[in-house]
Chain A
Amino acid sequence: MSVTSRHKEKKESRMKRKNKKVDTVYYLGVGFMAVLFFIFHTCAFLKGIFFSFTDWKGYGAWNFVGLKNYFYVFKNKDILAAYAFTFKFAFISTIAVNIVSLILACALNAKIRFKNFLKGIYFLPYMLGSLIVGFIFNFIFGNIIPKLGQTIGNESMSVNILGTSHAMWAIVFVTVWAGCAFNTLIYIAGLQSIDTDIYEAAALDGAHGFKRFRLITFPLLAPSFTINMVLSVKGYLMVYDQIMAMTGGGPGNTTTSIAVMIYKQGLGKGQFAVQTANAVILFIVVVAISIFQLRILEKREEKVG
């Protein structure tokens, strides 16, 4: 195809688009959301980036300080500890959530009794909101489990786990419990889109049980797997609600995630500019990890699809 003809074709298609009049109301609808998004998200975000280069305390006069806040973030031991905790937490939670919800989804997709009722039950935590879930478990860990531990005479169960150096595991447990709802839903949707013919063919070829799962089901779930991995990692890197409801970052700073740190130090302790810089870094980290994951997982989708 010559250059000119290609050019012509482009022009034609553009004209075709022009002739087909699009109702302005669609632009109005989309534009309205775009403006809202720009005002309440993008503007605030850009302003935040701007102030991360200043010594602004959240009010009053300020000066430019260049990259000083960023150096401070990288040098501060507590902030680095928060990053270490957050990565560890996100890694463990993501894997645990996806394993548990995959098992749940496969079980719920099988022909079992009370299937819809059980689906409803498993979806319930998602409706509650993580703050409420956090408060509920705060009570369970603080009052119910220690009493149970004392009754059965179990030493390690008779203290509130949220007050020990194992507090992170309690938070992981609650996060997995609450996070499974959404991930299971996506996996179920993925499972239902798999054609039953494929299973029949697999059965003829002798693939059953775990073999069938490993060779047929799991590869065909690739798109759902991608969504769940990316959303989980993104969500758990920004973990905040559960921690505020259960430990407030303690004991010591053992459960202080980056988001908790930004809130506590930035708004409560007068480090507004430093923590804004921290927030910008967190943003870059989350975006970088998400893009990296998408690249790898999409490549995998292409291979197995």
Chain B
Amino acid sequence: MKKKSVAVLLITVMTSALILPGCAKSDKKEVEFFSSKAENAEIMKTLVDEFNKENAASGVTVVLNTPADAGTVLKTRLAKNDIPDIIAYGGDSTYTELQSAGVLKDLSGADYLNTVQDAYMQMVYDVQKNKEQVPYAVPYAANASGVIYNVDKFNELGLEVPKTWDEFLDVIRKIEDSGETPFEYTFKDTWTLCCAWNSIAPDLAPDTFNDERRKGNTSFAATHQEIAGKYLELMKHAQKDILGTGYDDGNKAFANGEGVMMINGNWVLNQLVTANADVNVDMFAVPASNDTSHNYVTSGIDVLLCESKTSKYPEVADAFMSFMMRKENNQKYIDDQFAFSPIEGVTQSDAKVAGIQKDIESGKVANFPDHYYPSGFDLAEALSEFAMNYVNGEEDSKNIDTFLKELDNQYDAVNIAE
């Protein structure tokens, strides 16, 4: 009965393969640090290693986990009620969901809270459910969106950084006259379409728009005509294949001298430097209005830190949070990422962001408008359709009307479903 014994053996192997991994896990003393950004994995790893060295006596190690598609992974983990001990995430609607699920620890009383700038702490409260004023998370790094420009080319063409919309158009015209392409866009990765929108909209939209829109008292069609018009205007001065250029390819091309400006965020700089170490760029806020007091830098919380309520080793998790929030450690992170610090006394001094550093320090910042849209609302897709219609030669005013109507329809659809 040779056949039979082989079959039995196979079955045993298959069954045990199912059971064994379950046993192996149990008694390792670990604290999981879940981080959502691939871009900062290296510096996070460095910080985690330092902490583990410093904290070796406790016998508990912090383990970094940076999965791809982190938002989806985190939501799945939430569904299984398997919350990582410490989470580093962006200040967006996924955080709102996490916070409203009631799985986060109230950080009130922690020493490091005193060192955080109020404007950024307020941004955390703003994205919490019902704008609850309890610190369930602490901001760790801020980002900024705006125009990234090639300093060498600006100097060559004798251009100055524009302060108003009219000056901006003037700069664009001069660049075109010289035979260069003003903008390099990377719309094949649809999220990059949101960058220009996020930079223009806060300057021109009514202050109460988000609250009123949620209640249904106003609409995109009634208030966002100018924003859509200016968005479209900028799109007309870019390279030919805007929808076919991906983020990586476009960044590489820009770093090596194609285009003069890009509308994106400080998170691009890391990539530009990788593509060309000698790249000479700086940033300025998109001057969407002729009233300079309205031309904000769009800045949001790029990374916030929060703790699970149900950590197995809460003292280690607390110690790790304090460690991360130390000024010298935050500085290391900020320097590595070209990011801005929400912690007082930690400044970003790199020349690549010098143009917006002052605005950020003085608090002339507006949060990303899409952080306030409902979570099912797909701005990127609507903008991508808008851009495609433009490329296909649709007439401007008709294109703008369809686009704004589409935004309103989509907003209503997801607002009700929630």
Contact = CB atoms under 8 A, between A and B. Distances in A.
B244 A162 contact: yes
Interface stretch (A114-122, A219-227, A243-251): A243-251
Interface string B277-318: 000000000000000000000000000000000000000000
B417 A72 contact: yes
Contacts of A29: 7, 10-11
Contacts, number: 113
Interface residues of B, number: 49
A269 interface: yes
A159 B241 CA distance: 6
Contacts of A234: none
A251 B243 contact: yes
A171 to B, nearest CB: 14
B76 A58 contact: yes
B208 interface: no
Nearest to B101: A60
A25 interface: yes
Nearest to B100: A60
Nearest to A57: B97
Interface residues of A, number: 41
A265 B376 contact: yes
B188 A77 contact: no
A59 B75 contact: yes
Interface in B244-282: 244-246, 249
Given A59-B79, A251-B385, A268 B417 contact: no
A267 B387 CA distance: 26
Interface in A51-72: 57-60, 72
B380 to A, nearest CB: 8
A268 B71 contact: yes
B53 interface: no
Contacts of B410: 78
Contact of A25 (B8, B76, B246, B382): B8
A270 B374 CA distance: 10
A160 B72 contact: no
B227 to A, nearest CB: 19
B15 A32 contact: yes
A164 B244 contact: yes
Contacts of A26: 7
B375 interface: yes
Nearest to B413: A76
Given A25-B4, A248-B190, A163 B245 contact: yes
A143 interface: yes
Nearest to A267: B72
Given A142-B188, A267-B76, 9 more contacts: A26-B7, A32-B14, A32-B15, A78-B410, A142-B246, A146-B241, A162-B188, A162-B244, A270-B93
Interface of A: 23, 25-26, 28-29, 32, 57-60, 72, 76-78, 142-143, 146, 158-165, 247-254, 264-265, 267-271, 274
13 contacts: A26-B7, A163-B187, A163-B242, A163-B243, A164-B243, A247-B188, A249-B381, A250-B243, A250-B384, A251-B187, A251-B188, A252-B382, A253-B385
- Which 3 A-B pairs have CB atoms at the shortest separation, nearest pair first? A160-B244, A163-B244, A252-B385
